[in-house]
A = this chain, B = another copy of it.
Amino acid sequence: MPEPAVRRLSLYLRELEGLLDRQCETISSRQLGSLLNLTDAQVRKDLACFGQFGHPGVGYRVSELVVRIRSILGTDRTWNALLVGSGHLGRALLSYRGFARKGFRLIAAFDNDPTKINQRVGAEPGILVEPMDRLPEAVARRGIEMAILAVPQSVAQTVADQLVAAGIKGILNFAPASISVPAHVSVATVDLAVHLEQLAFRICTRQVELERQTAGKQQGADAIGGPSR
């Protein structure tokens, strides 16, 4: 399954969940595509990777497609997750409501900083920050499969190793560093600076495009109205 198609599944799901909230029952590939600036052909091709979803003359049934995509993505169940690193970003992630909406439960938090341990963090009533040496027992006893890594770059690999040893199956890495894990563990990385860098690139290319268009129009205007041609 091509990775960009899987990424787009998440975006389809987000739009479809919004449509469900608004009691919309069916949608065509063209309508779904237009919500995400994609062609209808792209939508049909992506969804066809995962099975037959559409109904001729009806389009997609929204509720059916939501159920199917959640099942493909593995979010038709609840996932227990823990956080390592209760700094600013970690605390922001604990307070982020979007995770629970998708079935992700952040149920434990760990840090190695004595000033943070035993503090309650995140949205009320908050989660108690525990010392790192409690991590293995918490993972085993509370059935935690995912970890969110919000620690400084310098300790990212060490903490990743501890997570793997404790039996964590997937790590969402917010540290601006590549981490190595064994083949049975999955990693997704969110590098916030990289996102801003990509935005800088898009602003620059957009500006060049606009300048070219303006220059093109100007040349056109010169050709039509210019006195000496």
- B-binding residues in A (CB < 8 A): 1, 4, 6-7, 9-11, 13-15, 35-36, 72-75, 79, 81, 87-89, 91-93, 95-96, 98-99, 101-102, 104, 145-146, 148, 169-172, 176, 178, 183-188, 190-207, 210
Contacts and interface: CB of A to CB of B under 8 A. Distances in A.
26 contacts: A10-B197, A11-B194, A13-B197, A14-B176, A15-B178, A72-B201, A73-B198, A74-B203, A74-B204, A75-B200, A79-B200, A89-B96, A96-B192, A98-B176, A145-B203, A146-B200, A169-B207, A170-B200, A171-B199, A172-B195, A183-B206, A186-B206, A188-B199, A188-B202, A190-B190, A190-B192
A146 B88 CA distance: 22
A194 B81 contact: no
A149 to B, nearest CB: 11
B178 A199 contact: no
A156 to B, nearest CB: 12
Given A74-B201, A186-B202, A98 B195 contact: no
* Secondary structure call for the A interface: helix
Nearest to A79: B200
Contacts of A93: 92, 192
A102 to B, nearest CB: 5
Copies of this subunit: 2
A193 B104 contact: yes
A99 B142 CA distance: 36
Given A178-B35, A178-B36, A146 B196 contact: yes
Given A186-B206, A204-B74, A193 B99 contact: yes
Contacts of A95: 87-89
Contacts of A184: 206, 210
B74 A200 contact: yes
A202 to B, nearest CB: 4
